[in-house]
Amino acid sequence: MTHPALSSGNVAVITGAADGIGLAAAHRLSGLGMTVVMSDLDADKLTAACDAVGGNAIAIAADVSDRAAVNALAERVSKEVGPVSVLMNNAGTGRGGNALSNPDGWDRVIGTNLMGVIYGVQAFVPAMVAGDAPGLVINTGSKQGITQPPGDTAYNVSKSGVKSLTEGLAHTLREDTKGRVSAHLLIPGFTYTGMMKAHFAEKPAGAWTPEEVVDVMMDGVARGDFYLWCIDNETTREVDNARVLWNANDIAENRPALSRWHPDYKQAFADWMAKG
C-alpha cells in the first residue's frame, strides 16, 4: 500500500529540490504522476534540475529562511497549481560551527534547517488540515540531531529542533485530522548529497545515494512509520540503535554530556557496542 496523498494528479512541494535527496524525491513523485513544485535557493541550478525531472515539475525559487518568501511560495502554489497533498521540507545546509564559533554560520544553519521547516509547516499545513483530502508532510532531519556527534553543533541543534517539531506536529495532526494528514521524520545517515560533494569529489563507499534514502522514505511512509530511519554502507540498524540508546542513557544514568566521546567512558562505550 502507499499513502493516499501519493496519488497521480496530486500536488507535491519539495524544498531543497535542486540536488541530493530533494531532487531524488522529485524524480520519484513525478514518476507517480504527481505535479511536483520544486523549490531551492539557487534559481539556475533549480531550473536545470526541474528540466531533468520533466513531466509535471515546476520550478519556483525561494529562500526558506525568509518567512515572507515561504508564505509567498505557498500563496503562489495555491493560486497557480492547486491544493498541496505532499509537503517535503528538505532544504538544508551545514558548516555552522561549535557553540562558541561562527555566529553568521549559526544564523544561516538555524535559519535554513530549522526555521525553514517551521515556516514551511506554518505556510502549507493549515490548508491541508482545513481541507478534506489526505495529506503527507515529510521533514528531513538527520541522525546527527539524535546522536549529537561533536563538531558542527549548529547543525545538530537545527536537526534536533526538526525532530521535536515533527514529533509535535505528528501529534497535532493525529488529534486534529484523525490521521487524514500525517507527518513523518526522514532521518538520513551518511548520504552523498550536495553538502557532501564539498568534501568528497566522488561518492565514498560508505555513503548511500539519495535514491536509496528515498527508497526508505517511500517504504516507511507506506508502512505508516513516523521515523523514516536510514542506514548507510557503514552502519547497520543494530549499530544505530545501540548508539541512540547509549545517548539516551547519558540522561538516565547522569553521565557527562556526550559521554560517548568522553575519555573516561571510552571503554564502557566500546563494551556497550560489543554487547550489541
Q: Which residues are known catalytic residues?
A: 155, 159
* Cell numbers found for residue 229: 530511519
Q: Is-contact 246 260, C-beta < 8 A?
A: yes
CA-CA distance, 45 to 235, in Å (whole number)?
A: 32
Number of other residues whose CB lies within 10 A of the CB of residue 150: 11
Q: At what angle do helices 153-177 and 116-130 cross, to 10 degrees?
A: 10
- DSSP one-letter code for 70: H
Residues 6+ apart with CB under 8 A from 199: none
Radius of gyration over alpha carbons of the chain, in Å?
19
**Residue 140: strand, helix, or coil:** strand
